[in-house]
Amino acid sequence: MRRVSVQRLLWLFLAPLIVVAACGTGPNADAAVQRAVTATRAAGTAAVTMHLSATGLSAGALEITAHGSIDFAARRSAMTLSYAGQLQVEERIIGSSLYVRSPQWSKQASSIPAGNWLAIDLSKPSSTTGLDLDQLQLGNDDPGQGLTFLAAARKGSAQRFGHDTIGGVRTTHYRVKVDLTKVADEYAPRLGKQSATVDVWIDDDDHLRRAEVPLPLPKDAGDVQATATTDYDRFGQAVTIEAPPPSQVTSYADLAHG
């Protein structure tokens, strides 16, 4: 069986990036999902909590958590990730630039100076960065990727599954089939599938409160299965997300070609 490494799943999680019962379908459910895309983006900002779980790995189950904030309009996000209660990774996305740093790098005699951020230009092809961004599924550099998935929901696919309370807020649970060819050009051909199923929970103000996405892993993932769950709250609150100072940035391209 081919295996997917923990490091590869960590990369999957960096681009953050959404109970079956009697259900309702039809144009009303479709409209509710699309209203959530519009209303959540219109809120401007949100606090984000993410959880990734993976099974089928040779090392056993994997759990990764993250928290931070997102500015949908400015295409910026800031997250802190934790793996196994030990490894911590900070991530910022500013437009098409991804900045990542971890205190573990200096402990591993890394070529990245202690405290520095690793900068990756997501807009450049793999041949110039030396990093296969498509394979790592970082090709979509939109910090609101969960909304990008929802916007690509196939017409007539939305199903309604009743109500749940999330973070003390009443929500309605929907399930949609997403057209991967509309999410990003490389998704469908790279992953060998045309669609993915996404579960979402939407509040009475049409805000997206939770997105649960079975991650479409690469073809060589074998028996590995991974799910990403993202919760949103504190909509519209002021957030400040800036790029790190140039003196604290190390370019991945420079390391790769150095």
Beta bridge partners of 80: 67, 90
Q: What DSSP designation does 18 have? A: -
Upper half-sphere CA count for residue 25 (Cβ side, 13 Å) = 11
Look up the domain containing 67 and give its range.
6-18+22-252
pLDDT of 133 > 50? The answer is: no
The CATH number for 125's domain is 2.50.20.20
How many degrees, rounded to 5, is the angle at CA 211 between CA 202 and CA 167? 60
Please indicate, yes or no, if residue 118 is contained in any of the structural domains: yes
Please indicate, yes or no, if residue 175 is contained in any of the structural domains: yes
13 Cβ contact partners less than 8 Å away, ≥ 6 residues apart: 50, 52, 64, 66, 81, 228
Q: Are strands 208-214 and 24-25 parallel, antiparallel or unpaired?
A: unpaired
- CA 236/CA 228 separation, integer angstroms: 24
Please indicate, yes or no, if residue 35 is contained in any of the structural domains: yes
What's the total number of domains in the chain? Answer: 1
Q: Which of the listed ranges 63-67, 84-88, 139-143 does the model predict with the highest average pLDDT?
A: 63-67
pLDDT of 152 > 90? The answer is: no
Please indicate, yes or no, if residue 155 is contained in any of the structural domains: yes
Please indicate, yes or no, if residue 72 is contained in any of the structural domains: yes
- CA 185/CA 86 separation, integer angstroms: 35
Please indicate, yes or no, if residue 258 is contained in any of the structural domains: no
Instruction: Write out pLDDT tens, residues 49-85.
Output: 988 887 776 666 778 888 999 998 888 999 898 876 6
Instruction: Write out pLDDT tens, residues 198-242.
Output: 899 999 999 999 998 877 666 666 777 778 888 999 999 999 999
Instruction: Write out pLDDT tens, residues 175-203.
Output: 999 888 887 666 666 667 788 888 999 99
Model confidence pTM above 0.85: no
Please indicate, yes or no, if residue 152 is contained in any of the structural domains: yes
Indicate if the alpha-carbon torsion angle 71, 74, 77, 78 is positive or negative: negative
Please indicate, yes or no, if residue 1 is contained in any of the structural domains: no
